[in-house]
Structure 1
Amino acid sequence: MTVEEQAREGWARLMGSGGAQDRTPGEIVPADLPAPEGLTATGGRGHVTLTWRPVPGAIGYAVHRATASAGPYEPVDHGGGDVLAVPHGPYADTTGEPFREYWYSVAPLGTVTSMGSLGVPVAAAALSSGPAEVAVEVTADGDEGPPHRPWRAMVGSEHLSHLLCEDTSGGRPIGAELREALRRVRDELGVQQVRAHAILCDDLGVYKLVDGQPRLDFSGVDRVYDTVLELGMRPVVELSFMPRDLASDPSRTVFAYQAVISPPRDWDRWSWLVRELTAHLVERYGLDEVRDNWWFEVWNEANLSVFWSGTPEEFWRLYDETARAVKAVDPGLRVGGPASAAVGWIDDQLARESPVDFVSTHTYGSPPLDLRPLAGDRPLLWTEWGVTATHGSEVNDTVFAAAFLLRGMRSAAGRVEALAPWVASDHFEELGRPPRLAHGGFGLLTVGNLAKPKYWALTLAQRLGDTQLPVTLTGDGAGGLVEAWAARSGDGTVTVLLWNATLDHAKAGGDPELDRAVTVNLTGLPAAAYRLTHWRVDATHSNITALWRAIGEGRDWPDERQWAALRDADRLQEAEPSRTLEARDGAAAVAFDLPMPSISCVELVPAT
């Protein structure tokens, strides 16, 4: 077996049956893409950083490793459990043994099931000692245009009828707190739209058979969408799941709320349902509003059998029928998909003769791949994205997840329409309602609407001003572990956001070898002095779930005294007291330690 065949076989094991896409054939085809050139591997403390030159037409890169130059080469598995590819370098491999020499090679991806050639391998070894310093150079009078904030476009949520729920979890009102969570992400993070499942499920009573005849009732949908708009947001209309009375097999369900995943028993009635719903939304909310601001997404992750009991061919018929039904109301309405798991079926989607106004897909555990070579000028909507797809994983509540969130947002900035964190709130019941406060829920906010570390990550990113600044990083782990994002506000405030993170889930709890000493050097500062504020998200700052584990006394839910203590601590915390920072000849420096994982935000406000 050649090295290329070894690589494709290893990738097939990750992507094929039983892996990230259980309907993807266990075979990876060659992509007509050349091997990346200029691969370098640099050993540093606790890691090896890889860089390479981009390959035109590649959507991402699969990093491979071997213990000998001849192989066998296996994809590096950093534990994300989904598409273990990255959209670009640098890539920091923290999964190897210290001082052990590994050989690395990188292959470009044409799709997630087509791989180009492996590049010329290079060798390096991680170290367990040595200087671990990173310098961050910020040009405060530079101008790279306005920063793109992908989180503002969209956030995920539980099925939206949950907004109307009057039950409680942990003694907290579900509907009221979910509404408040969406209001907060709108007001505090700038999020414009919410995407959720199951607008066609039976709890909203959209489609029923009465004396053998279909009857439509959109009053439940109206209550839900009216609520979303009252919160200042707009819905993504995910056309799912199948009404029970329209399903060919209503026994095939998913989730605790038993969403039906089968094809329709009557395709004409499905098309009629979609057309009538679309026409109703246009009539109720206005053609210009719906045409200009709403997305119609077809189904959810049909490339996983857990979400679609029909065949792939039946799903593509569903897509075609649905797209035509939406467009029959108005050709300007935007419909797309495939809303797939693990970046699957994108090439199949774009081969359709039916309308595809945008491309939507999902991934977990890695920054989103660069699908522009496939999608062309179509908008790219990552309508689900996060650190893990595993329900109840403790990593969801950690600083590791917060730093991961920033890494993905910075990577995706300027190349996607939306990167939607999954989800806004731990009021979420796909596999049942939350059993305890810190249960590893997907939410940015806990039950009780306490901010998790990843909520604070986006809060800090939201503080960036309207003019992005040039940033250069050098040192041990620069770009692969430590990253930075900087911007200037109209009043001259300079904000520098930094994080130290690996994609390696085995290091989610931290690793002292990956901690770094950081110096931020600023030039081009016009004022003589600044008020310096330094916010931190780490093991002991802005970390409500860590606090709860410390004071929770083994309880599932807080008592009233503990709720009060948690609410009192629910704030963005400073790493040090604010102080005055003087600039000499337009230059100043700020130095501090940056553990892995952690986030720092340094804000300089001109002193008056």
Structure 2
Amino acid sequence: MTEKAKADWDERIALRSDEERGFAFPDLDPPKEVSAVGGVGQVTVDWSPVEGAVGYLILRSTGDHGPLEPVDHHSGDVLSVPGPPYVDTTCTPGTPYHYAVASVPEVTVAGRPSHPVGAVPLVADDALPQVQVIVDTVAEGIELQRPWVPMIGSERLSQLLCTDTTGGHEIGVELEDALRRMHDELGVRTVRAHAIFHDDTHVIDGDSYDFSVVDAIYDKLLAIGLRPVVELGFMPRELAGDPTKTVFEYGAIISPPASYERWADLIRALVEHLVDRFGLDEVLGWDFEVWNEANLEVFWSGTKAEWFHLYDVTVAAVKAVDERLAVGGPSSAAAGWVDDLLAHARANGTPVDFVSTHTYGSPPLDIRASLERHGYGDARILWTEWGVTPRHFNPINDSVFAGVFLLRGMRSAAGRVDALAYWVASDHFEELGPPPRFLHGGFGLQTVGGLPKPRYHALSLLSRLGPVELPVTLTGDGGGSLIEAWASRDRDRIAVLLWNLTLDQTKADGAPELTRTVHVELPGVDPSWQVTATTLGIGAGDLAAATAELGISEWPTEDQLTELVERSRMVSTPLELTGSVVEVTLPMPYAILLELTPNR
């Protein structure tokens, strides 16, 4: 893709569609009990949650009288966070700041800021700051939630049938292998992708429909053990009001239909066919999502009102086949239009079986408050796209930082969402053109050639947590904000996943002042148990570092791929358990999984 075309995409992707509304958001009080505590290289801001808030915006001023401005952690998307605490590492050590927090009822609206509180980030010295982690190993615990399991994102699924090659690797074969690995190794259950109505699926044949290509695609998915999340889009050329309105290198049509009746007939025919082909019991387990990111001009050339009409007729067409089939949306960018869709649906009696939306660069907001205030508290919440950055060809996608970011987001979302789908499974992804080289900042968890990136390793670490979540207490410099922990029990195994991360993407390559010594106390564990540590850090499980070591700038040879597999593995080593304590050093970014088992 040309730099000019990429620049055009980057400009258009930021343009939101109509944000005008015929309803008001609640005027939420500012959070209470706001505190800001300076540590080495960071300030941790904490507060009490506010009922009705989907998130919180952190504000900062320099000195006593400077203006309060949002803290920008350079994610390129939503700056609000779902809850406390927040660690600010964009600050300058030794500089006095004031912090305030505003409640956010909806992603585009922030309430009044709290009363500012002061803090000074500390300058690093020779002593590493300390964090204490206490794991209640004998607690009854609760079921450990796994928001990564329900869904993964993918390039358009017609690519499963593609015999072209990228970097010498056949696209369809490798995309299928990547999805199979997500299912077999990580337990993922469904796949969400764009463009089931693109030109290459040929669903309209003159005056009739032909779903044979769709069948071939879904046959492959089901053979793997995966179900599709059927994103109903984009617009078939034969139905488009303006087929010149397109997105992506492959020319997906973003126009409203010339006839909503013909669109509804296509939807009904597709769903009827799927039920006939795969069986009602099977298809009742699928989700039907209306369009993709219509709140961005780049994905919908119509108005908000036209998209609401599209939603209404689409839901009616799906439900005409069977009322129990699940349909939802708004499948929006940056957590937008959630309240808009729910207010519209409630006013018009349109079903919303699930709410779907997207965000990048931060943990997903807690939109349960939006569902409750519109009377849809029972609807499922599906984040059908999420990742470290919304930008194509961003080197951060290949970084260890992105892997540790994934851990933070999944931990934050656990228990409050029904799915958090990382976008996407494989670097066989051609929205802005084919991958230009082996490591190119692609969205994939796996490379062309099928090698795992740090984000895939992070999911592997998560998958090794046991079924019972154990309580954890963190204290010290950055404990609970910079340093986080997720602990579990599985019969005679204790697993504690620790990580060190700031959301500040300017520090993606590391920040020595954020290194912490972590004392992990495990009262109740037999001192004779053995401890194994598996690490993900810069140089450990780090495919980008391994690629640089081998001097690969374009595409690796088969021998180099084999060498990269070995060099980019996560490292597992034994550690010493002193009484009931394990001590580890965590740079930033870094993750370590401690697994404790009886010494047999």
Deviations 1:248-291 (A, max 9, x none): 11111111111111011111110000001011111111112211
Question: Which secondary structure state, in structure 1, belongs to the residue aligned with residue 274 of structure 2?
Answer: helix
Q: 2:245 is matched with which residue: 233, 238, 252?
A: 252
1:473 aligned partner: 474
Question: Which secondary structure state, in structure 1, belongs to the residue aligned with residue 180 of structure 2?
Answer: helix
1:100 aligned partner: 95
CA distance in 2, matches of 1:132, 1:498: 16
CA distance in 1, matches of 2:64, 2:431: 46
Q: How does 1:423-462 map to 2 (within 5 A)?
A: 423-462=424-463
1:306 aligned partner: 298
Residue identity matched to 2:44:
T
- In structure 2, the CA distance between the partners of 1:30 and 1:288, relative to structure 1 (3 Å rule), is closer
Residue identity matched to 1:234:
R
CA distance in 2, matches of 1:572, 1:31: 47
Structure 1 vs Structure 2 CA RMSD: 1.7
Residue identity matched to 2:443:
F
* Structure 2 residues not aligned, in runs of 5+: 1-10, 372-376
Question: Which secondary structure state, in structure 2, belongs to the residue aligned with residue 200 of structure 1?
Answer: coil
CA contact (8 A) 2:533 2:575 kept: no
CA distance in 2, matches of 1:19, 1:215: 35
Question: Which secondary structure state, in structure 1, belongs to the residue aligned with residue 299 of structure 2?
Answer: coil
1:566 aligned partner: 564
Deviations 1:549-599 (A, max 9, x none): 22134x30012321221133343322xx325646x5xxx111111000011
- In structure 2, the CA distance between the partners of 1:22 and 1:474, relative to structure 1 (3 Å rule), is same
Deviations 1:12-33 (A, max 9, x none): xxxxx97855225499977421
CA distance in 2, matches of 1:545, 1:297: 35
2:6 aligned partner: none
Question: Which secondary structure state, in structure 1, belongs to the residue aligned with residue 529 of structure 2?
Answer: strand
Q: CA deviation at 1:215?
A: 1.8
CA distance in 1, matches of 2:551, 2:140: 47
1:602 aligned partner: 594
1:225 aligned partner: 218
CA distance in 1, matches of 2:541, 2:72: 30
CA distance in 2, matches of 1:267, 1:319: 10
CA contact (8 A) 2:40 2:123 kept: yes
Determine whether 1:84 maps to 2:79. yes
Q: How does 1:179-198 map to 2 (within 5 A)?
A: 179-198=176-195
Residue identity matched to 1:600:
I
2:5 aligned partner: none
Question: Which secondary structure state, in structure 2, belongs to the residue aligned with residue 115 of structure 1?
Answer: coil
Q: CA deviation at 1:113?
A: 2.3
CA contact (8 A) 2:15 2:298 kept: no
2:503 aligned partner: 503
CA contact (8 A) 1:181 1:424 kept: yes
Q: How does 1:480-499 map to 2 (within 5 A)?
A: 480-490=481-491, 492-499=492-499
1:50 aligned partner: 45
Q: After alignment, is 17-26 or 589-598 more displaced? A: 17-26
CA distance in 2, matches of 1:552, 1:304: 40
Determine whether 1:205 maps to 2:202. yes
Residue identity matched to 2:409:
G
Q: CA deviation at 1:346?
A: 0.6
CA distance in 2, matches of 1:579, 1:120: 46
1:23 aligned partner: 17
Q: 2:131 is matched with which residue: 129, 134, 156?
A: 134
Q: CA deviation at 1:145?
A: 1.3
CA contact (8 A) 1:30 1:115 kept: no
CA contact (8 A) 1:29 1:113 kept: no
CA distance in 2, matches of 1:97, 1:545: 29
CA distance in 2, matches of 1:224, 1:416: 28
1:12 aligned partner: none
CA distance in 1, matches of 2:352, 2:489: 38
CA distance in 2, matches of 1:288, 1:480: 44
Q: CA deviation at 1:143?
A: 2.4
Question: Which secondary structure state, in structure 1, belongs to the residue aligned with residue 135 of structure 2?
Answer: strand
2:395 aligned partner: 394
Moved over 6 A (4+): 26-30
Q: How does 1:509-588 map to 2 (within 5 A)?
A: 509-525=509-525, 527-553=526-552, 555-574=553-572, 577-578=573-574, 581=577, 584=579, 588=580
Residue identity matched to 1:546:
A
CA distance in 2, matches of 1:580, 1:86: 37
CA distance in 1, matches of 2:438, 2:197: 30
CA distance in 2, matches of 1:133, 1:68: 28
Question: Which secondary structure state, in structure 2, belongs to the residue aligned with residue 111 of structure 1?
Answer: coil
Identity across matched positions, percent: 54
Q: CA deviation at 1:233?
A: 0.6
Deviations 1:373-406 (A, max 9, x none): 1122210000000000000000001111011100
Residue identity matched to 2:273:
H
Residue identity matched to 1:81:
G
- In structure 2, the CA distance between the partners of 1:19 and 1:163, relative to structure 1 (3 Å rule), is closer
- Count of aligned positions: 578
1:346 aligned partner: 338
Question: Which secondary structure state, in structure 1, belongs to the residue aligned with residue 403 of structure 2?
Answer: helix
1:9 aligned partner: none
Give the TM-score normalised by the residue count of structure 2: 0.94
Q: 2:328 is matched with which residue: 336, 340, 357?
A: 336
Residue identity matched to 2:53:
A
CA contact (8 A) 2:137 2:494 kept: yes
CA distance in 1, matches of 2:120, 2:461: 35
Q: How does 1:169-180 map to 2 (within 5 A)?
A: 169-180=166-177
Residue identity matched to 1:479:
G
Deviations 1:131-169 (A, max 9, x none): 511111111111221100000010000000011111111
CA contact (8 A) 1:207 1:246 kept: no
1:114 aligned partner: 109
Question: Which secondary structure state, in structure 2, belongs to the residue aligned with residue 562 of structure 1?
Answer: helix
Q: 1:294 is matched with which residue: 281, 286, 292?
A: 286
